[in-house]
A and B are shown apart, each in its own frame.
Chain A
Amino acid sequence: MKDELANRSLPMSDAMMTYPVTIRKVIWENDDTFTLTLDMNGTLGEFSFLPGQFNMLYVYGIGEAAISISSDPSRTGTLDHTIHRVGTVTTALSQKKRGDVIGVRGPYGSSWPLDVAQKRDVCVITGGIGLAPLRPVIYSLLKKRDEYGRIIILYGGRSPLDLLYRVELERWEDAKNVEVLVTVDRGDSSWKGHIGVVTSLLSYIKLDSRNTIAYVCGPEIMMKYTIDELERRGLPLDRVYLSMERNMKCAVGFCGHCQYGPTFICKDGPVFPLPRIRPLLDRKEL
């Protein structure tokens, strides 16, 4: 098992350099979450990233925020970032329109290790906006569908209207040997799907514990209970990968804002093999 995850970063000399890019499209996924499609032709040259990596998006005069890249890694020319409007910078980003210019630097951080999933089943477990950093993984898996076993996508949201990428979720379900199960915390009588926490979806799938890799991303409390449930189902925990979330400033491990015990989420993560960070997950005030 690889302990060091792939990390495609910029040369350090460029690491703090922000480039202006133009917003090509804004799509509102729900009331407070939107996807910015950025035109990458031009200043950044040939931009490439690995699934799970993030960029620092800069609203001039306001500040920067670390946002996962949520588009297909094989797509060239544009990049998607799906953003939850919660703070000053993300609110400012939410007010941007097509044609506006923002700053971008990146990509940063480790990626989801797809090589360890070859010939195995893959279980993607995610909740809320956690689907955004996993969307590039799903694109990558589907692009090379025959290299993997079953693909299982378990996704939980607050309500049916809060779900991200609803059209794509249906499209993924139609792909060969892909199971997509979606659940919400609450729904009205028009919702025919599952209601309950995302971990409850594990009881509806047959998980081959000897041959499955799990990628998990969502609120930390969701990931904690997901790990417990996977362990209960016999999945070896060295086959579980998580993406962690902390406030980031520099994105290159200088400032210490995202320090998590002995690791820096920006530089050593955000994707970690579970054994590397599990001892830290239950610690208070870390």
Chain B
Amino acid sequence: MEDLTIILRQHPFLRGLSDEHMQTLIGCATNVRFAENSRLINEGELANKFFLIRSGRVALETEVSGRGGIRIQTVGPGEVLGWSWLISPYRWHFSGVAVMDTRTIALDAECLRNKCETDAHFGYEMLKRLASVMERRLEATRLQLLDMYGITSSGVMP
């Protein structure tokens, strides 16, 4: 358990979390490894986990009829995978595939939700951290939508 605390403290998502909140969180956490090409989450299934990525890389993909799995984003060390666990109806909107051997801390969603409900300070702390992740992802998605390499690079300087 002590080792897990150290690992959790090293993850940027939990940087600065109080000892009390860390103790609240740790009961929901397990250390999980995924081999290359294994699936962490599946589109449409119950979002019963929340992952902190320690090493490796996970691709978020969605099935498009006639085109197969389209990869739309990767998450890597220091990042988190998934927020559907916090938002009803708790279903994954994308699938997550390990594109290389990946080490994670998996947090049990139901355990975490219960603790967020019963400890409002802890819940708010989690929400603030997730909101920051969501804000960055939204910004990145908007940039991707701009297709900036396609429309603005004239090739005439540079």
Interface residues of A, Cβ cutoff 8 Å to B? 33, 54, 65-68, 83-87, 89-90, 127-130, 132-133, 156-158, 162, 183, 185-189, 191-197, 199-200, 203-204, 217-222, 225, 243-248, 265, 270
Contacts and interface: CB of A to CB of B under 8 A. Distances in A.
Contacts of A225: 139, 143
A219 B156 contact: no
Given A86-B154, A157-B149, A185-B149, 4 more contacts: A65-B155, A89-B156, A217-B158, A220-B152
B98 to A, nearest CB: 10
Contacts of A192: 57, 99-100
Interface stretch (B3-11, B69-77, B81-89, B114-122): B69-77
Contacts of B74: 183, 193-196
B155 A129 contact: yes
Contacts of A248: 156-157
B153 interface: yes
Contact of B156 (A185, A217, A247): A247
B73 A84 contact: no
Contacts of A189: 59, 61, 68-69, 71, 97
A128 B153 contact: yes
A245 B158 CA distance: 6
Contacts of B77: 204
B148 interface: yes
Given A196-B144, A204-B77, A265-B157, A219 B152 contact: yes
B79 A203 contact: yes
Contact of A185 (B59, B61, B100, B147): B147
6 contacts: A66-B156, A200-B140, A203-B76, A203-B79, A204-B76, A248-B157
Interface string B125-158: 0000000000000011001101111101111111
A217 B77 CA distance: 26
Given A86-B156, A270-B157, A156 B57 contact: no
Counting chain A CB atoms within 10 Å of each CB, which of B71, B97, B140, B150 scores highest?
B71
Nearest to A187: B71
B78 interface: yes
A222 to B, nearest CB: 5
Most interface-central of B71, B144, B149, B157 (chain A CB within 10 A)? B157
B6 to A, nearest CB: 19
